[in-house]
Structure 1
């Protein structure tokens, strides 16, 4: 989730439990604790572009790491501010821990994948019930957290927590409805996929991307929920087959191992990018939910497959009218 939402939710939980004279401290510690796990993005390597994919949302997001991560943040706050102002380390640690505890669970509600049970499991949890950025979730929460601080009362923060839980619950219901629409669409095509997944499009719970796998291909469509759901038929792309798509790739080579690392990160939603040679894309994400145009991919090099890691490519390309088309789909209008 975006850092603003993480910090605000991190503040809401300790504020909802704090006494009035500790409301400011609860807010500060909660914000710090709520945002701190994402410092793992600093774990990078100039020689290995995929290293950050392995460590982002890994140990700092594990549930078992919460007491440790909270202690590190609390020590930093106490050392820089707490001793001089006279704050109790115990209060700092408790409030920071409450904020820290909200982070991974909120991240798991997105589609990216979070290692909640590291080091006991490398499963990436992605509950797909909220977009990574959603102003309808965040803005009311910010207002309530600020009101709680200004008024020095718990109830606005408590209301903020209920708002988040209610919104995420609505996301679960919407996701399940979108998945059912995806199954109906597959059935109309004569397909019987083992799994249909639905993922929210950018910043809303109305428009969803549906993905399923059938006969060696991914089928990507979009559905706008409502009393009469609107389906936006999408695209198909063959599932990645290394022997077919990259016959030159040597098994066990450095870049072949990188492909498997990227496969784990993408939860096996991989395909050869039809637009770029020697590029493998993550099919889960695109600017328009009924299109196959990955936001990130890896670029292989047949001339350096055992001497150089793959390149990690982030695509921010958007054609003319992309956001207008997205808004049209969110409104449920024909394209």
Structure 2
């Protein structure tokens, strides 16, 4: 999730855990900082964009390593705040703040290797978009109201209930996303079967900023293609209209020795496409973005003498949906209008 969501989640979890044992602002500040720490791995440069992508959310997001780090950080916090007697409680607060970070990331489609060092599988539920105000705002509001009433809280008065309510609403929203995702998956499978398409892999993930519009990607090996469609809850069960795009799997054999290609194929769980353009080979992670705009699109090789592919240092090109047309399209889809996405 985005940094603001992680900061507000960390603050809310820490405040809920510490309760009246410390000042609300202290709990919120420690939670906000601890909730940010795992994402500092984004500052590391692993040598090329493909490695940077696939090595993000690794050890710093692993539940095992975060559990080992929690008592060390809690010891420092309790001493820094001169609350050594609250060490065990700070330990619990810091641990919960740290582990809820990758658990929230797990709900996005990106891929979080939270089971390291036992497996490097990139887990991703894909039921919430990386930025979703409906998730973040309840946390932000609940924590802000609790901070505003911090004097009353420390004196034994009400106020912590706002923080608890924010956590409850945001967690319920995540559950809602999982339920809607399964509903859309069922509709997508029915639409694809009706179209006579044999699907090898099926991706169902929210469109930007909401769980009311969903993007569906189906990999169909028989025709070496992927099919993209969109469904809004306002469509009320209307069959999903899919658009076919070539996947370029024939290039895979020519590029099979390239580590960058293998890493993206693994990290994307098979949701990738290959293409040749301007004498270069490109691989795209199909999970993040929509046609023809993708966040992770990499040039990985050039045509050399004799037509052979020569590996190159991966070069990333960012594709983003134009904000104006994108928001206009999203607004129309929210109302159930079956309009084509911006191209």
Same fold at TM > 0.5: yes
Matching residue of 1:14: 14
Question: Which residue in 1 is equivalent to 2:101?
Answer: 103
Does the 8 Å CA contact 1:279/1:300 hold for their aligned counterparts?
Answer: yes
Q: Does 1:197 pair with 2:198?
A: no
Give 2:272's aligned residue: 270
- 2:156 corresponds in structure 1 to none
Alpha-carbon distance, 1:204 to partner: 0.4
Q: Deviations over 1:181-230 (max 9, x none)?
A: 11111011112425432101101011001122222321111111147135
Cα pair 1:240 1:270 within 8 Å, conserved: no
Matches of 2:329 and 2:284, distance apart in 1 = 23
Q: What TM-score, normalized by structure 1, do the two folds share?
A: 0.86
* Moved beyond 6 Å, runs of 4+: none
Aligned residue for 1:62? 62
SS of equivalent residue, structure 1 residue 309: strand
Distance in 2, Cα, partners of 1:319 & 1:103: 28
- Rounded to whole Å, the distance in 1 between the matches of 2:319 and 2:202 is 26
Structure 2 CA distance, aligned partners of 1:168 and 1:307? 42
Aligned CA RMSD, in angstroms, stands at 2.6
In the TM superposition, what is the alpha-carbon distance from 1:15 to its structure 2 partner? Answer: 1.3
Deviations 1:64-123 (A, max 9, x none): 112234356546656xxx53x524372544322221121010000011111121111121
Q: How many residues align?
A: 321
Superposed CA deviations along residues 292-313 of structure 1, whole A, max 9, x for unmatched, are 5322211023258666422122
Stretches of structure 2 that go unaligned for 5 or more consecutive residues are 154-158
For 1:266 and 1:125, the matched residues in 2 are separated by 10
- Cα distance between partner residues in 1 of 2:324 and 2:7: 34
Aligned to 2:332: 328
Q: Could you say what secondary structure the match of 2:293 adopts?
A: coil
* The one of 165, 190, 210 aligned to 1:184: 190
Moved more, 115-124 or 267-276: 267-276
Does the aligned pair in 2 maintain the 1:32–1:96 contact within 8 Å?
no
Change (3 A) 1:164 1:322: closer
Task: Name structure 1 gaps, 5 residues minimum.
Answer: none
Kept in 2, the 8 Å contact 1:230–1:332? The answer is no
Stretch deviating more after TM superposition (9-18 or 182-191): 9-18
The answer on whether the counterparts of 1:115 and 1:124 sit within 8 Å (CA) in structure 2 is yes
Partner of 1:43: 44
Structure 1: how far apart are the matches of 2:324 and 2:163?
Answer: 42
Q: 1:104 to 1:71 in 2, by over 3 A?
A: same
Tell whether 2:166 aligns with 1:160. Answer: yes
Q: Tell me the distance in 1 between the aligned counterparts of 2:297 and 2:311.
A: 20
Distance of 1:230 and 1:133 partners within structure 2: 27
Matches of 2:196 and 2:303, distance apart in 1:
43
Cα distance in 2 between the residues matched to 1:135 and 1:275: 37
Partner residue, 1:31: 32
Structure 1 window deviating more from structure 2 (256-265 vs 319-328): it is 319-328
Whether the 8 Å contact between 2:251 and 2:275 is mirrored in structure 1 is: no
Q: Normalising by the residue count of structure 2, what TM-score does the alignment of the two structures yield?
A: 0.84
Q: Which shifted more, 220-229 or 297-306?
A: 297-306
Q: In structure 2, what is the Cα distance between the partners aligned to 1:165 and 1:200?
A: 17
Deviations 1:100-153 (A, max 9, x none): 121010000011111121111121111121111000111121010111222233
Greater Cα offset, 99-108 or 186-195: 186-195
Change (3 A) 1:246 1:109: closer
